[in-house]
Chains A and B, each alone.
Chain A
Amino acid sequence: MKKRTIALILSVALCLSVALTGCGAGDSQQSNPADDGKKSLTIAVLNDVVSLDPAVKDSSAEMQMASHLYDPLVDYDTDLGKKPGLAESWTVLDDGVTWEFKLRQGVKFSNGNDFNADDVVFSFERILNDPTLEMGVYLMRLQEIKKVDDYTVQLVTKIPYPVFAGSLIHIMMLDKETCEGLTSEEIAANPVGTGRYRLVEHVKESYIKLVRNDEYWGELPEAETVEFRVIANAATRTTALINGEVDFISNIPVMDVERLKNDPNVQVVTNPSLSCSYMGFDLLNEHGSAGTDDPNPLLNVKVRQAIYHAIDIQTIVDTVMNGYATVANSYMPSICVGYNADVERPAYDPELAKQLLTEAGYPNGFYLRIDARSDSDMNADQVSQAIASYLEKVGIKTEVNLLPRASFYEKVSAENLQSSFFMAGWGDSSGEGMVIFNDMLYTYDGKPGMGEGNKGHYSNAEVDALLDQASVEPDQAKRAALVEQVDQIARDEAAYIPLFFKDNIFGVRAGIHYTPSADDHILAWDFTF
């Protein structure tokens, strides 16, 4: 009868598990997006936003959410072009530094207040006066802002800067009457914006629910309710999409794509992203190739060129990235002003690499350490190991050092560079090669605004001069020519090694049509049913 007891327990357990799977399968319909006639959208995101105050953080998740609730003066057109937002038009006055914006009339905030110049001045001054608001980074060249009349404002820049309007795309307009005197947390707790959607509910680390603003001044999006659900783990997101619990997922790991493509309920949409993955060199230190006291071999241009030629980036893209990336020949994505599709990227040629190394005085190679992030979304851990393999084949003894985010940025920082050779990423949505190169190639000397991303301390006076010229060049074609020159100089000197632009990989429920946005943000109005 012990056997009977055991048999009894086992059979009960079996029944239980069958019942569970049974009711589990049935219940998955309950967690589907609501079918109550409303067009609703459930989007899975990696992490929650830190704050709903649009000025606090300069990062994708926050800017993406801010675009739903608020509007800027200038907005994106297709392919990172610019079009009117809350500003109907703008011109540069003759002095070259004053920008006059004519504001749209008849726009209301979600609480009924009118939108006018007071709100614009408030929104900008707030950022100018508080250095902890990260969006200040985009207003570095702003000198002051003046109200001309209720629907006209003037922004004065410190020096002439023809692409200034583009910097304003991420500056959202707040309602002065509501927000004046409030702390950032208070503003975030009760967002009042002019945007396409209004906040319904925000449960931290869980979800954000939005409802459409039917009085929106522009074109109404199709989705009437939107939920951004936080699902941090990629596998969970994928499962949620397959089960129909969410309508959309992003950041799909490259090795998962084939599996998703085979699912009839799912469409996979890809587009090239703006995130450039690259290798940076320590061009600052005379000595110390990561841990040794030898002279820094990377200061020799032939050594850098040798490394460039030693890496077979196409194979890396095909295998490690499973084909979901595009080989890069520059920091600039292809839609940038200044991009030239015809340039020749130094080819994969290990023999040439060995020759260059010998010519540089390193016939037996040298020791090099690659610092890369262990937790990057660009497969940095795999890519850097692959690169190590190629470098070893031409005689460079390579060690791969994987670090989590915090430790990585400690070592790879322009202020205090402790890395010889690192793999990093950079993304920029300005659409201007000049802006990118100002960040990445301009000499870094601690001043805000220039060379912020130039962690390796590349410095070339000619490049600086050309970029200075481009910054004040209003004619797009002339600007492009200057930028192309800079690009070529950097390539000839092997200032850095551009690797690839990874693809954005999205999964969309069948029956919904999604058009990816050029700035890599996921926006509810890019969906049609």
Chain B
Amino acid sequence: MFKYFLKRLAQMVVTLFIVSILVFVLANFIGDPVNMLVSPKAPPEVREQVREELGLNRPILEQYVSFVSNAFKGDFGKSYIYKVDVLSLIAQRVPATLELVFVSVVLALVISIPLGVYAGAFPKRKSSTLVMGGSILGISLPSFFIGIMLIYIFSLKLHWFPSSGRGATTSFLGMNFSLFAPGGLKYIILPALTLSVTNIASLVRLTRAGVMENMRQDYIKFARAKGVSTRKVLFGHALKNALIPVITVFGMEIGSLIAFTTVTETIYSWPGLGKLLIDSINSVDRPIIVAYLILTTVLFVFINFVVDLLYTVIDPRIEFR
């Protein structure tokens, strides 16, 4: 077991190393950052000076080494555009993305589990077919289109919600969240809904499948024979067992959520991590792009590592090499 742990740890390190090289080397090929920093009117000497200051004239290997050692200290340099420390800039944006993901997850769970349970318990009913049809529709929609339709209907036509931006924020645990600020909630509903639609669709299907499969099991039949009400059967037994694969998949979906926030935040101009990434890509703000890539890599590799370990703990049937 311990050997396995070490092996996975080593793999994690190797992965990070490879990705860091890739990221760093490839990042050197996007545009020339000097153009972003100086006005087009600047004479060549000023440009040279700026290149020197940024360290762009040193050999790539040297730049890489200092990059890695700095990264360990949490220093990813200063953003070319915003001129502030990259890590603090990213940290500043985290609350916005976090609360968006949080509300989206809550929405997804609240909507999809009851629907899935219903469709699973009564698979033959017309309403269940509707739910399932709707869920296929849900996964067929590109998330940006969902966002557009929601904005169009609920903001432009009905004027229920604002079409973009984030509401006023209040401080909570030292970070700025808009959830608790008055009027803040109305800004978060549409983006959170957009983010959750695809998840709702797949969760509904998963829950339904899980419930259906479990309903067929013998122990359910025995419980019913005992006289336990269908409701208790459903929520007490079937749901619990159905939820295991749901939770597993859901855990992996969190990763995609973070990826999809890029699109949602772009549409709604939600000032979170996703928008920061897209803006940085468009304005060739290298330090941010590089930091972002490294951080997400670390995050995902770490998550997978933990999940793998948990698997071996939860299910001893799983073999590990």
Contact = CB atoms under 8 A, between A and B. Distances in A.
Contacts of A231: 165
A415 B92 CA distance: 38
B281 to A, nearest CB: 9
Contact of A131 (B30, B49, B92, B189): B49
Contact of B82 (A204, A406, A410): A204
B38 A134 contact: yes
Nearest to A439: B41
A57 interface: yes
B49 to A, nearest CB: 6
Contacts of B198: none
Given A131-B49, A239-B164, A409 B40 contact: yes
A57 B32 contact: no
A28 B161 CA distance: 12
B36 interface: yes
Contacts of A81: none
A236 interface: yes
A235 B269 contact: yes
B160 interface: yes
A55 to B, nearest CB: 13
Contacts of A236: 162-165, 269
Given A134-B38, A137-B41, A232 B269 contact: yes
Interface string A409-420: 110010100000
Interface string A1-43: 1110110010001000100110110011011000000000000
A24 B186 contact: yes
B50 A132 contact: yes
B135 to A, nearest CB: 15
B200 interface: no
A402 to B, nearest CB: 12
Given A131-B46, A204-B84, A232-B269, A21 B163 contact: no
Contacts of A48: 82
B34 to A, nearest CB: 9
Interface string A392-427: 000000000000111101100101000000000000
Contacts of A59: 39
B183 interface: yes
Contacts of B189: 17, 20
B114 interface: yes
A136 B157 CA distance: 51
B33 interface: yes
Contacts of A439: 41
Given A1-B231, A5-B114, A409 B35 contact: yes
Contacts of B111: 13
A24 B42 contact: no
A406 B43 contact: no
Contacts of A415: 44
B46 A20 contact: no
B282 interface: yes
Interface in A56-81: 57-59
Interface residues of A, number: 50
Interface stretch (B68-76, B115-123, B242-250): B115-123
A106 interface: no
Interface string B262-281: 00000001010000000000
A406 B33 contact: yes
A298 interface: no
A164 to B, nearest CB: 18
A413 B47 CA distance: 13
Interface in B185-205: 185-186, 189
Contacts of B43: 448
Contact of B83 (A50, A134, A233, A239): A50
B132 interface: no
B129 interface: no
Contacts of B32: 406, 410
Question: Which of B32, B39, B43 has the most CB atoms of chain A within a 10 A radius of its CB?
Answer: B43
Q: Which 5 A-B pairs have the closest CB atoms?
A: A27-B183, A24-B186, A233-B269, A236-B165, A406-B31
Interface of B: 30-33, 35-36, 38-46, 49-50, 82-84, 92, 110-111, 114-115, 117-118, 121-122, 160-165, 168, 182-183, 185-186, 189, 231, 234, 269, 271, 282-284
14 contacts: A2-B118, A2-B231, A13-B110, A21-B161, A27-B183, A31-B168, A134-B39, A205-B271, A240-B165, A375-B282, A404-B284, A405-B283, A413-B40, A452-B41
Given A30-B182, A205-B92, A410-B32, 17 more contacts: A6-B118, A13-B110, A21-B186, A24-B161, A59-B39, A131-B46, A134-B38, A204-B82, A205-B82, A236-B162, A236-B163, A405-B282, A406-B283, A407-B31, A409-B40, A413-B40, A439-B41
